[in-house]
């Protein structure tokens, strides 16, 4: 079982990232930009630059030029790395997600986290007790974690999921991916893996396309918990 993180397992990380970027723009340029504009601009940049070795750092450099920051790209990146982890302490799992992960582990399923996120976000999340499972940091429940630092191209390219298959020495038909966003769904499908869509409001703009591509859809992990108990 392979899981994305933002919007799939946890709520509000995307919102917190948008808030971080809004604060950077205000601090370094004096401009106030609405969250919807920020999300659209960031999503378009990430999709167009998925081959960057650190796409979020590249995006910070892009903002320095686009919004004419009165600071260097390195200064902007350093502030991003300070602001975002300070907000991560408020993150929580989506409803019944933690229980579902624990139940899968108990049934003997291998659990994998496949995410575009970067290391310093993981470090902050590990300290967040809202994200502990069985009194341990969330990452301990996963048999494998593959992130943006492990591949050349991030989602929507298939690299992350291909890397999972390689590391587990398995085939696509033996796996199932849980994703919320279009880029993640596209990534998994390009790797040949079936996808369960765990809907998230931030992806509603792409809902029609997501529904066309995904193999299954759930409204809550509670649905799957009931099925899992029958195994």
Q: Same structural domain for residues 186 and 167?
A: yes
**Residue 47: its pLDDT value, please?**
83
- Write a three-state SS string for 34-68: CHHHHHHHHHHHHHHCCCCCCHHHHHHHHHHHHCC
Q: Is the pLDDT of residue 148 over 90?
A: no
- Which of 26, 55, 88 corresponds to the end of one domain? 88
Q: What is the pLDDT of residues 73-101, one digit of tens each?
A: 999 999 998 888 888 888 899 999 999 99
**Residue 88: its pLDDT value, please?**
85
Q: Same structural domain for residues 212 and 131?
A: yes
Average pLDDT over the chain reads: 92
Q: Give the pLDDT band of residue 9 (cuts 50, 70, 90).
A: very high
The tokens for 180 are 């919320």
Q: Same structural domain for residues 73 and 115?
A: no
Range of the domain at 61: 13-88
Q: Same structural domain for residues 83 and 97?
A: no
The enclosing H or E element of 174 equals none
Q: What does R_g of the chain's alpha carbons equal in angstroms?
A: 18
Q: Is the pLDDT of residue 28 over 80?
A: yes
Q: What is the pLDDT of residues 107-122, one digit of tens each?
A: 999 999 999 887 788 8
The enclosing H or E element of 215 equals none
Specify the number of domains making up the chain.
2
- Which of 26, 61, 88 corresponds to the end of one domain? 88
Q: What is the pLDDT of residues 32-72, one digit of tens each?
A: 999 989 988 988 998 888 887 788 899 999 999 999 999 99
pTM given for the model = 0.89
Q: Alpha helix (H) ranges present in the chain? A: 13-29, 35-48, 55-66, 73-88, 97-106, 119-126, 159-168, 182-190, 207-213, 221-228
Q: Same structural domain for residues 61 and 160?
A: no
Nearest by Cα to 16 from 44, 35, 3:
35
């Amino acid at each position: 079982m392979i899981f994305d993180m933002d919007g799939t397992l946890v709520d509000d990380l995307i919102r917190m990232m948008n808030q971080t970027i809004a604060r950077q723009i205000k601090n370094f340029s004096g401009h106030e930009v609405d969250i919807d504009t920020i999300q659209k601009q960031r999503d378009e940049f990430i999709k167009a630059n998925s081959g960057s070795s650190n796409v979020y750092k590249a995006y910070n450099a892009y903002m320095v030029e686009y919004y004419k920051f009165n600071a260097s790209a390195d200064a902007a990146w350093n502030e991003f790395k300070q602001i975002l982890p300070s907000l991560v302490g408020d993150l929580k799992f989506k409803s019944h997600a933690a229980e579902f992960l624990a139940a899968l582990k108990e049934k003997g399923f291998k659990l994998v986290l496949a995410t575009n996120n970067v290391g310093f976000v993981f470090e902050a999340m590990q300290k967040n007790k809202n994200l502990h499972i069985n009194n341990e940091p969330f990452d301990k429940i996963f048999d494998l974690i593959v992130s943006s630092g492990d591949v050349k191209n991030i989602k929507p390219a298939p690299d992350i999921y291909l890397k999972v298959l390689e590391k587990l020495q398995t085939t696509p038909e033996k796996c199932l991916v849980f994703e919320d966003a279009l880029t993640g769904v596209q990534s998994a499908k390009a790797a040949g893996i079936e996808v369960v869509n765990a809907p998230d409001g931030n992806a509603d703009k792409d809902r029609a396309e997501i529904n066309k591509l995904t193999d299954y859809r759930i409204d809550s992990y509670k649905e799957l918990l009931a099925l899992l108990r029958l195994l």
